[in-house]
Homo-oligomer: A and B are copies of this chain.
Amino acid sequence: MKKNILVVGSVALDSVETIHGRTNKSLGGSAVHFSLSASHFAPVRIVGVVGRDFPKPFRTLLKRRNIDLEGMQIMPGKTFHWKGRYDRDFKNATTIATQLNVFEQFKPKLSGVHSKCGVLFLANIDPDLQWDVLKQMDRPRLVACDTMNYWISLKNASLKRLLSKVNLFFVNEEEARQLTKEYNLITAAKKLMRIGPQAVVIKRGDSGSILFYGKEVLAMPAHPVEKVVDPTGAGDTFAGGFMGYLAAAPDWRNCATLKRAMAYGTVLSSFSVENFSVRRTEKLSNPEIALRYLDYTRSLAVS
């Protein structure tokens, strides 16, 4: 169970509009994007909740990637639904509607199998729930979490309590600034590491990401994509590739390992933005990933 990844987060139906088209109630949610990405590296188990309207083909799609859905509870009511629109620059999504539905009652309860997973990813949910989940775990070897601006404002103390107990924190640059009140990302990351995490990954969208680990500061660019169709879930797909690689690695506390993890995260997220919802990632093959990983890491190698 050491390599098993448990992800706790949202399973959603997304209606998204971008300059390249739109989708209606397509498969989404942080746990979904994360799982599809991580499943290329290690066994993944989702803990989440859906309504009775959750389409059977979406379950099939996840199962086809060997993602365990035992912890994906079905509740009376409707699945979490998000409707949003992106501008041409894909920087900010305008939320048209958020219907929490069954997600509002989400109270994750872990089974024995779940609690014994070696790797835990706490996707962006209420930090009190993230904390609850963490408390139910049986000595995981690696714990990571994500969050969002909403929790930074509304549950700051809960979030900081959580951060004091995680190994790895994934955070957007704006959120890192909001949380630390520091504009400079190095200064911000140092402050975050003082709260607890041994490593911080600042996600910067098409500007790439920066990994902070001990005294190391490692910036990586995004893999340039010519046609960005839908950036929804790119951050969770990034975390999925990153955590998936770490779960499969013998020891994550190693700079070279963390760098490879970041490169895989970058590669996986570059695929995810190429089509709506999970259309690109659901069918991704390992050779496709390996090839782009090689392209990407070669392009960074300065000889």
Question: Which of the 9-residue segments A68-76, A96-104, A126-134, A255-263 touches chain B?
Answer: A255-263
Judge whether B183 and A299 touch: CB under 8 Å. no
From B208, B256, B260, contact of A219 by CB (8 A): B208
**CA distance in complex: A206, B185 (Å):** 11
A227 at the interface (CB under 8 A from B): yes
Question: How many residues does chain A have at the interface if contact means C-beta atoms less than 8 Å apart?
Answer: 35
Residues of B within 8 A of A299 (CB): 216-219
> What are the interface flags for A274-303 relative to B under an 8 Å C-beta threshold, 1 for contact and 0 otherwise?
000000000000000000000001011111
A186 at the interface (CB under 8 A from B): yes
Q: How far is the CB of A255 from chain B (nearest CB, A)?
A: 9
A184 at the interface (CB under 8 A from B): yes
> What are the interface flags for A183-209 relative to B under an 8 Å C-beta threshold, 1 for contact and 0 otherwise?
111110000000000000000101110
A176 at the interface (CB under 8 A from B): no
Q: How far is the CB of A301 from chain B (nearest CB, A)?
A: 6
> What are the interface flags for A83-110 relative to B under an 8 Å C-beta threshold, 1 for contact and 0 otherwise?
0000011000000000000000000000
A119 at the interface (CB under 8 A from B): no
Judge whether A300 and B204 touch: CB under 8 Å. no
Q: How far is the CB of A171 from chain B (nearest CB, A)?
A: 15
Judge whether B302 and A224 touch: CB under 8 Å. no
Q: How far is the CB of A228 from chain B (nearest CB, A)?
A: 7
Q: How far is the CB of A236 from chain B (nearest CB, A)?
A: 21
Residues of B within 8 A of A226 (CB): 184, 186-187
**CA distance in complex: A208, B217 (Å):** 15
**CA distance in complex: A217, B223 (Å):** 9
Residues of B within 8 A of A88 (CB): 183
A140 at the interface (CB under 8 A from B): no
**CA distance in complex: A210, B227 (Å):** 16
A246 at the interface (CB under 8 A from B): no
From B187, B217, B219, B300, contact of A302 by CB (8 A): B300
A222 at the interface (CB under 8 A from B): yes
> What are the interface flags for A210-233 relative to B under an 8 Å C-beta threshold, 1 for contact and 0 otherwise?
100000111111111111100000
In the complex, what residue of chain B is closest to A205 when comparing beta carbons? B207
> What are the interface flags for A241-260 relative to B under an 8 Å C-beta threshold, 1 for contact and 0 otherwise?
00000000000000010011
- Given contacts A184-B226, A217-B299, A263-B302, 12 further A-B pairs with CB under 8 A are A89-B183, A184-B228, A186-B224, A186-B225, A207-B207, A207-B208, A207-B221, A216-B299, A217-B224, A220-B300, A300-B300, A300-B302
What are the 8 closest A-B residue pairs judged by CB atoms, nearest first? Answer: A207-B207, A219-B221, A186-B226, A297-B302, A300-B300, A221-B221, A263-B302, A218-B299
17 pairs, CB–CB < 8 Å, chain A vs chain B: A184-B227, A184-B228, A186-B226, A207-B207, A208-B221, A210-B224, A217-B299, A218-B299, A219-B222, A219-B223, A219-B299, A220-B221, A256-B302, A259-B303, A300-B301, A301-B301, A301-B302
